[in-house]
A and B are shown apart, each in its own frame.
Chain A
């Protein structure tokens, strides 16, 4: 019988702690326990055997921390450590029946980018090396355990699935409030893990059985997978500076008996548990049945932090990250300005989006690269789940891979090619996929034709092992200007899907294509579709009429308890038709750092003056005034920053007024935080100030390799490059960057950062030391001859 044959059919038992057992046998704090696979193989086997004698079925190999990052510089080879770990476990298991060796994968010890500095694909490679070594050495399954970060968990699962055929069990560590160290909750983690194809899921470490009991219901309701619980022997207690676990073997067994009864399929232990704990548990629980798989009909998408569940209030998917008809977004994509894309995301989130659609397809850019970067940028600033929207399969896979959670994917359709290319990706990455009701014969004009296509896609998806709960059917809104039945057909498809328990999604605004007063038709059609049962819609959440329709619908359908949401939204709404009046000049608004006033004053000024005049007559003098005050210490950092924000707001109004191409002709300046440095606040302040002066700032971000800075300086022919570094350890990287620039590019280099001095800056070869953001801008003005 293989592990997979038994999983979920009969109750299985994992062993208990290894680390605390080894500490009791002389392992010192800070020592690498995995090296004991060579130096103390007998001790390792003795611990394994003690657990096997207690009756366990699954032994975890002593490979928890084995990875090439930990062994860097020691000459130790990861593959050998892992193979030795598997060998020890196999030898210990040999005399015992119905026992399996679980290749143990723990966290890498690094935080993944953008939260830390380990790129996602490097994390995948780290795990891949361990998985190959462990499966070759003969492990029976892979256990990914003590994971406290969904992103790292995803890297480990992908590495496992891509490098062996072994079953994979994932156990994660939550705190007492049900949160991962990176902030995710049980639902978000469970949705992602099941989507990625794990065979079993559960909790380990961090908590004792009693605390896990409180979190178990959430896990049971968000996954159909068999459940694994490997708790600690209670919560850790610090006593005299030492960590202790207070739950004894009998108490542990009693607590586990209750827990297993709630639907657990594999039980074992983690820190503080001993063969006595595990033995007592097995003696008490061995006759209990396994919980096995359960039905789970939840449709949801997730991010690293939270899940968005379909079925109650209809989900709003913000549509604005899509370059079609948006010159400013196109310009941002051409300039790799992901900050702009992030701002579009944030605006939509504050307007009420539950999910953000991300589409960056446009001619002349590498879509796979751009979509991957957009996903990384957005998930670095928000936990709102994303809908990956592309018809480019390469871009689709890149983005699905880099996404930190269970994504929504837009889209698959009934065409043979689409089904064959997209469905394997949906399966592999566990997406909820949008199924468009069109196929090789086009879009059927009647309801029955579209339902037939939807059913065909659902059937084909099932062949790939994709559940219908991971499909949202898009009936397709065709404009009523060319077919009077189009709205009716879409609504009928929605109702039909609703009756079958299938979720739906629709890009609502297409209904009015070619008509005047589009928002009016759109918002009424949205209401009709919601009434028909539409469970999610791709709309512009910044359209007041659409959101009015949404909130009114919720209130009218009893989905807004006591109309609280509606009242909060509309009780103090401003009256329509108010004209813009500004009491303050733009100069004063910027100097005082008032964003709202600045926007109003700009709008007023634009009524009588040309955009360039507004910039030169009010904005630049105001910025100069503030900058001078800052240098003379008559005004201080907070005011400088608030003025920068106010000027930026003014600039946005001006850019919008001229259709997005406002300052594409400004001089280019490149800025970057150097390699190895992830602190970029100073750089970001400099960026905003320079943009306010009309420069086109190419922001390379933080932790930027030397080559990237040189390549960008060449590509853009920039006359000035700005570099920042916070720490003494990273100033070396700054010096290297300057040297490399000197060899290949004719440009001035301005540097800044907490540990730098005028002298130091000269030593490393910089042209100018900027003691503040204002000093950096003044220098650039000087070099580029900006007439002020």
Chain B
């Protein structure tokens, strides 16, 4: 299981030298990893980049200028959906009841586990092309409601047990969906945080 402890500590907003936080995160990781039931879907599609979005070979169009910009030059994309499963949510709720510190640490650890899992699954996907960073509904001007389109193409409900709530949140909550551009060069001028609407985010990495 690929997992970045340093990143988990950053999510938890711990200082680099905080030993107690380190122990907390390690303890939680050991408890949480037994609850992980990770699954994913990766599907390759050819696409046409339009000015205001991306048209896929299955005639679904994602509407977002930022996405179009992010995928500029790509003839193919990967659609990704991944989840750690609902047992992780149950466990996080359980930890939170016993200790808010463990609950918060579990949120941070689970977020890092799903990110690491996505990285790993993407690396295993055989392609001669380079993969651009993940771009998800909700980033930039890509409306969150377009999540429904991704779900329909990938059949996330049936194949992963991954669902959307009425408020367009993913359940199980430790899940990722994204579009990944494929191109000859690893061109990426895009920075996740700069594109994000959440300008108050404590994790924002923008100078």
Say yes or no: A111 contacts B171, CB within 8 Å. Answer: yes
A676→B163 contact, CB < 8 A: no
Which stretch, A135-143, A154-162, A309-317, A380-388, touches the partner chain B? A380-388
What's the minimum C-beta distance from A419 to chain B, rounded to whole angstroms?
37
Q: How far is the CA of A688 from the CA of B96 in the complex (A)?
A: 10
When C-beta atoms are compared, the residue in chain A nearest to B201 turns out to be A754
* Contact with A639, one of B18, B42, B60, B94 (Cβ below 8 angstroms): B18
Q: Which of B42, B165, B201 contacts A678 (CB 8 A)?
A: B165
Is B69 part of the contact surface with A, judged by Cβ < 8 Å?
no
- As a 0/1 sequence over residues 168 to 182 of chain A, the CB contacts with chain B under 8 angstroms (1 = contact) are 000000010001111
- Identify which of residues 675-713 in chain A touch chain B, using a CB-to-CB cut-off of 8 Å: 675-679, 681, 684-685, 688, 703
Does A96 count as interface, using CB distance less than 8 angstroms? no
Q: Does B33 contact A (CB under 8 A)?
A: no
Q: Which among B96, B97, B200 is the interface contact of A681 at CB below 8 angstroms?
A: B96
> B interface, by DSSP: helix, strand, loop or mixed?
mixed
Which residue from chain B places its CB closest to the CB of A645 in the assembled complex? B99
Using Cβ atoms and an 8 Å threshold, which residues of chain A touch B138? 727
Distance, CA A182 to CA B15, complexed state (A): 35
Q: For the complex formed, measure the closest distance between the CB of A627 and the CB atoms of chain B, giving whole angstroms.
A: 14
Looking at A286-294, A339-347, A774-782, the stretch in contact with chain B turns out to be A339-347
Asked if B163 and A116 sit within 8 Å, CB to CB, the answer is yes
Given A28-B58, A728-B197, A238 contacting B90 (CB threshold 8 A): no
List the B side residues contacting A684 at CB < 8 Å: 96, 100, 103
Choose one: B44, B58, B98, B158; the contact of A240 (CB below 8 Å).
Answer: B44
Q: Which residues of B contact A181 (CB under 8 A)?
A: 37, 39, 85-86, 160-161
Supposing A346-B94, A383-B90 touch, asked if A676 and B197 sit within 8 A by C-beta, the answer is no
Interface centre among A146, A346, A593, A681 (most CB of B within 10 A): A681
B187 at the interface (CB under 8 A from A): no
Residues of A within 8 A of B14 (CB): 636-638
Nearest neighbor of A756 in chain B, beta-carbon distance? B200
Q: Which of A110, A637, A677 contacts B163 (CB 8 A)?
A: A110
CA separation between A180 and B158, bound complex, in Å? 12
CB-CB contacts below 8 Å: A713-762 with B: 726-730, 733, 754-757
Q: How many Å from the CB of A120 to the closest CB on chain B?
A: 15
Contact at B13–A146, with CB atoms within 8 Å?
A: no
Query: Once the chains bind, are B44 and A29 in contact (CB under 8 Å)?
Result: no
Q: List residues of chain B with CB within 8 A of the CB of A381.
A: 90, 93-94, 97
Q: Mark A335-368, 1 if CB is under 8 A from B, else 0.
A: 0000100110010000000000000000000000
Q: How many pairs of A and B residues are in contact by the CB < 8 Å rule?
A: 175
State the CA gap A238–B103 with chains docked (Å): 37
Is B21 part of the binding interface, using a Cβ–Cβ cutoff of 8 Å? yes
Q: Does A115 contact B (CB under 8 A)?
A: yes
- Contact A382:B94 (CB < 8 A) given known A638-B12, A754-B198: yes
Contact (Cβ within 8 A) B173 A678: yes
Judge whether A516 is part of the interface by a CB distance below 8 angstroms.
no
Q: Which of B95-127 contact A (CB under 8 A)?
A: 96-105, 107
CA–CA, A30 and B171, complex, Å? 20
Taking residues whose C-beta sits less than 8 angstroms from the other chain, chain B's interface range is 35 or more
Q: Encode A644-673 as 1/0 by CB contact (under 8 A) with B.
A: 110010000000000000000000000000
**B197 contact set on A, CB distance < 8 A:** 728, 755
Q: How far is the CA of A394 from the CA of B66 in the complex (A)?
A: 55
CB distance from B174 to the nearest CB of A (A): 11
A241 near B: Cβ within 8 Å? yes
Q: Determine how close the nearest CB of chain A comes to the CB of B196; give it in whole angstroms.
A: 10
Which residues of chain A come closer than 8 Å to B18, judged between CB atoms? 636, 638-639
Flag if B171 contacts A117 (CB, 8 Å): yes
Q: Mark B73-86, 1 if CB is under 8 A from A, else 0.
A: 00000100000011
Q: What is the CB-to-nearest-CB distance from B77 to chain A, in angstroms, rounded to a whole number?
A: 10
Asked whether A116 lies within 8 Å of B101 as measured between CB atoms, the reply is no
- Chain A's interface: helix, strand, loop or mixed, by majority? loop
Interface residue tally on A, bucketed by range: 35 or more
Nearest B residue to A340 via CB reads B97
A116 (CB) vs chain B CBs: closest residue: B171
Q: Count chain B CB atoms within 10 A of each CB in A114, A636, A642, A726 and give the residue with the most.
A: A642
B130 on the interface (CB 8 Å rule)? no
Contact of A29 with B97 at beta-carbon distance under 8 Å, contacts A107-B158, A638-B24 already known:
no
- Report yes or no: A115 in contact with B90, Cβ–Cβ below 8 A: yes
B144 contacts A by Cβ under 8 Å:
yes
Complex CA distance for A727 and B170, rounded to whole angstroms: 12
Given contacts A305-B87, A644-B100, contact A117 B94 (CB under 8 A): no
Residue of B43, B197, B201 with most partner-chain A CB within 10 A: B43
Q: In this assembly, does A149 line the interface, its C-beta being within 8 Å of a C-beta of chain B?
A: yes
A8 at interface, CB cutoff 8 A: no
Residues of A near B78 (CB, < 8 A) are: 241
List the B side residues contacting A593 at CB < 8 Å: 20, 101
Tell me if A148 is interfacial: C-beta within 8 Å of chain B. yes
Minimum CB–CB distance for B200 against chain A, Å: 6
**1/0 contact trace for A583-600 toward B, CB 8 Å?**
000000000010100000
User: Which of B93, B163, B168 interacts with A109 by CB under 8 Å?
Assistant: B163
Q: Are B167 and A729 in contact (CB under 8 A)?
A: yes
| Among A116, A175, A346, A677, residue most surrounded by chain B Cβ atoms (within 10 Å) | A116
Residues of A within 8 A of B7 (CB): none
Chain A, residues 17-50, CB within 8 Å of chain B (1/0): the string is: 0000000000011100000000000000000000
CA distance A241 to B94 in the complex (A): 38
B42, B44, B166: most-surrounded residue (chain A CB, <10 A): B166
In the complex, the chain A residue whose C-beta lies closest to that of B9 is A638
Complex alpha-carbon distance, A685 and B20, angstroms: 19
Per-position 1/0 for A383-402, Cβ under 8 A of B: 10000000000000000000
Chain A: minimal CB distance from B207 (Å):
19
**Given A638-B14, A638-B18, A685-B100, also A677-B94 (CB < 8 A):** no
25 contacts between A and B (CB under 8 A): A28-B59, A29-B58, A109-B157, A109-B163, A110-B163, A111-B171, A115-B89, A116-B172, A148-B161, A175-B39, A181-B86, A182-B161, A183-B37, A238-B43, A595-B99, A636-B18, A637-B104, A638-B13, A638-B104, A676-B169, A703-B167, A727-B168, A730-B167, A755-B197, A755-B198
Binding site for A on B (CB under 8 A): 12-15, 18, 20-21, 24, 37, 39, 42-45, 58-60, 78, 85-87, 89-90, 93-94, 96-105, 107, 138, 144, 149, 152-153, 157-158, 160-161, 163, 165-169, 171-173, 197-201
Closest 4 CB pairs of A and B: A241-B44, A181-B161, A676-B167, A116-B171
* Additional pairs, 17, CB under 8 Å, beyond known A30-B58, A109-B157, A117-B167: A28-B58, A29-B58, A117-B165, A381-B93, A636-B21, A638-B12, A638-B101, A639-B21, A642-B101, A679-B169, A681-B107, A727-B138, A727-B169, A728-B197, A729-B144, A729-B169, A757-B200
